[in-house]
Amino acid sequence: MTIAIKSSFVDGAFVDLDSGADILENRNPSNPGEVVECFVRADQHLTEQAISAARRAQPAWARSNPQHRADALDFIGTEILSRREELAALLAREEGKIVREALGEVDRAGRSFKFYAQEALRAEGEKYQSVRQDVGIDVFTQPLGVIGIIAPWNFPIAIPAWKIAPALCYGNCVVFKPAELVPSSAWALAEIISRSGLPGGVFNMLIGPGRSVGDTIIRSPEIDGISFTGSENTGRQIAKLAADGMKKVQLEMGGKNPLIVLDDADLEQAVDVALNGSFFSTGQRCTASSRVIVTEGIHDAFVTRLAKRTRALKVGDALQDTTDIGPVVDGRQLEQNLSYVASGREQGAKLVCGGERIENEAGAYFFKPALFTEVTPEMRIYREEIFGPVLSVLKVRDYDEAFAAAEDTAFGLSAGIVTTCLRHAEHFKRNSSAGMVMVNLPTAGVDYHVPFGGNGASSLGAREQGTHARQFFTRVKTTYQLA
C-alpha cells in the first residue's frame, strides 16, 4: 500500500512536496507498525512565509462582510458533521481514542464551527452618554489581528476547531500549528477549510515541531496573539516570550483535578463518575480526575466497587467496538505512566489494580488503568499531572477535610463532587478555586457553547469557547464624537 505524503497549507494552497524533505510519519498507537500518513515537516522559512501571508490578508479580512464569515464557518461545520464517521476513524487511528469518543469529539468540532457561524452575525457594541455636553461615546470590538494557534495532541480536531472558529469569526487571520503526534486530523480540517471560500492567507496550517515552527510563531513580531493549549512547561515558556513581545496570550495547560465523594453519595453514581472522569479517553484529558478524595464512611465500599469495575474495562484497539479504553498515545507517554506507577509504589501507596503494560505482538501501547489507595498528599502521583489512567484515592474524615484537600494544588481547571447534600454541593460550586465545577458529573466532559478554562497553573488569559471567546480574539475601542 502506498502511503500518502501531505504538506502544510500556506497562503491559500498546500505547499509543494519537494523530495528529500524532512518527513514525519504518523503512526497508529493501537498498531505502531502501521503508518497512517506521512507529512513533510515545515521549517522556519515556511513558517515566516505563512505569517507574512496572514499579515497581508489581515486588513481585508478584518473588514469582511460578516455573512461571508458566517457562510464559510457554516460550510466547515456542515462538512465536518457530514463526514463524522470517516473523521472519527482517522482520529482513532492516529490518537487512539475509541471510536465512540472520537465521534463525540468530531461532533463537537463541527458544532463549534456552526456556533461561530451564528456568532459572526451578532453585532456587539455599547453606547454611552458622555459626561461632557453633546458628546456621544461608542464602544466596540475589533479583530485582534494575526493569531498563532498552537494545539496539543489529545483532542486532535476539537481543540483546533474551538480556537480556529472564533479566531476567524471575529475577523482574525490564523497561523495554526497542530501537535506532531496528530497531523492527520489537522490536515483533514485544513483541507475542508481550504474549500470554504476564505481568501488566501486568512488561514494557514504548519505541520512541524514546537522548537522550530512553534518557536518562530511565538517570537514573530507579526503575530498579535497566541492561543495555546498544552503542557504547563511549554505554556510558561510561551508566556515569557509573549510578554517580551507584548503579545496577548490565552494559555490552557495542565490539571490535577479532584473529585470528592461524600458518604451520602449514591455509590453506583460515584463509581460511574470516577471511572468515566479518570479512565475514559485513556486518562489523557486535561480535565480528567486523577485524585479522588473519599470520606471514610463510603471509602471501602467505593474502592471495592471501583476496583471491580476498573478490572472489567477492556483495553484494546481503538477501532474495535468492544474496546472501553484505547492505547496510550505513544511510547513516551506510556513510559511516563509506568514511571508514575513505580513512584507511587516507592512512596508507599497501594496499587489495587492495573498499572502495567499489556504485552502484545503489534507493540501497541496498551496500559491497564491503575487504581492507587493509601495515598498521602505529598506523593508525586497525588500532586503531579500524569496524563494517563492512573487514579489516586485519598481517604478523609468529612467534607471540610475533603474541600481542603481538593484545594491543595497549584492547578485549578476542573473539580467535581458526588453528593446528595445540597448544602455541600452549593458550597463546593461557590468556593472551589477551579474554573469548572461538576456536581454528580465527571470532571471531564463539557459543552461547546459556554466558557471553558481554569485558574492558577492551569490557565492564563481570557476564557475559551462560547461568546466569551470574543474577549481574547478582539480588542476594545472607545470612540468619542461631538454632536
- Whole-number Å distance between alpha carbons of 80 and 57: 25
Amino acid at 330: D
> What is the secondary structure of 3-23 as a DSSP string?
PPEE--EETTEEPP--TT--E
Nearer to ligand NAD, 98 or 181 (CB): 181
Q: Tell me how far CA of residue 65 lies from CA of 44, 169, 477, in angstroms.
A: 33, 11, 20
Contacts of residue 151, defined as CB under 8 A and 6 or more positions apart, other chains included, come to 159, 160, 163, 176, 177, 178, 179, 186, 229, 230
In the complex, least distance from residue 318 CB atom to ligand NAD, rounded to whole angstroms: 18
- Whole-number Å distance between alpha carbons of 65 and 402: 53
Nearer to ligand NAD, 75 or 280 (CB): 280
Task: Kindly write out the interface string for residues 166-205 of this chain, putting x where it contacts ligand NAD by CB under 6 A and - elsewhere.
Answer: -----------x-xx-------------------------
Question: If binding is defined by CB under 6 A, does position 214 make contact with ligand NAD?
Answer: yes
- Whole-number Å distance between alpha carbons of 178 and 159: 10
Out of 75, 116, 387, 473, the residue judged to bind ligand NAD by CB under 6 A: 387
In the complex, least distance from residue 233 CB atom to ligand NAD, rounded to whole angstroms: 6
Question: If binding is defined by CB under 6 A, does position 151 make contact with ligand NAD?
Answer: yes
Point out which span in 231-239, 257-265, 347-355, 389-397 binds ligand NAD (CB under 6 A): 231-239
Nearer to ligand NAD, 231 or 433 (CB): 231
Nearer to ligand NAD, 155 or 399 (CB): 155
DSSP run (H or E) holding 386:
none
Point out which span in 103-111, 225-233, 257-265, 340-348 binds ligand NAD (CB under 6 A): 225-233
Question: If binding is defined by CB under 6 A, does position 158 make contact with ligand NAD?
Answer: no
Out of 98, 385, 436, 448, the residue judged to bind ligand NAD by CB under 6 A: 385
Question: Any alpha helices (H) in 180-330, and if so which ranges?
Answer: 183-194, 215-219, 232-244, 267-279, 296-311
Sign of CA dihedral 291, 441, 277, 110: negative
Point out which span in 137-145, 229-237, 305-313, 424-432 binds ligand NAD (CB under 6 A): 229-237
Nearer to ligand NAD, 211 or 423 (CB): 211
Contacts of residue 224, defined as CB under 8 A and 6 or more positions apart, other chains included, come to 144, 145, 146, 147, 172, 247, 248
* Count of positions on this chain that bind ligand NAD (CB under 6 A): 28
Nearer to ligand NAD, 316 or 461 (CB): 461
Partners of 31 in beta bridges: 28
Of the candidates 146, 178, 482, 182, the one whose C-alpha atom is nearest the C-alpha of residue 330 is: 182
How far, rounded to the nearest angstrom, does the alpha carbon of residue 63 sit from its chain's CA centroid?
A: 30
Point out which span in 187-195, 206-214, 270-278, 473-481 binds ligand NAD (CB under 6 A): 206-214
Contacts of residue 141, defined as CB under 8 A and 6 or more positions apart, other chains included, come to 124, 125, 170, 470, 474, 475, 476, 477
Taking CB under 6 A as the criterion, which residues in 417-476 touch ligand NAD? 458
Point out which span in 37-45, 228-236, 354-362, 425-433 binds ligand NAD (CB under 6 A): 228-236
By the 8 A CB rule, do 180 and 25 touch?
no
In the complex, least distance from residue 421 CB atom to ligand NAD, rounded to whole angstroms: 29
Nearer to ligand NAD, 115 or 452 (CB): 452
Catalytic amino acids?
Answer: 252
Point out which span in 59-67, 129-137, 247-255, 370-378 binds ligand NAD (CB under 6 A): 247-255
Task: Kindly write out the interface string for residues 97-136 of this chain, putting x where it contacts ligand NAD by CB under 6 A and - elsewhere.
Answer: ----------------------------------------
Kindly give the pairing relationship between strand 350-353 and strand 289-295.
unpaired
Question: If binding is defined by CB under 6 A, does position 153 make contact with ligand NAD?
Answer: yes
Nearer to ligand NAD, 255 or 369 (CB): 255
Report CA dihedral (273, 274, 279, 283) to the nearest 10 degrees: 100
- Whole-number Å distance between alpha carbons of 4 and 167: 30
By the 8 A CB rule, do 144 and 448 touch?
no
In the complex, least distance from residue 416 CB atom to ligand NAD, rounded to whole angstroms: 16
Question: If binding is defined by CB under 6 A, does position 330 make contact with ligand NAD?
Answer: no
By the 8 A CB rule, do 134 and 483 touch?
yes
Interacting residues toward ligand NAD by CB under 6 A: 150-155, 177, 179-180, 210-211, 214-215, 218, 229-231, 234, 237, 252-255, 286, 385, 387, 413, 458
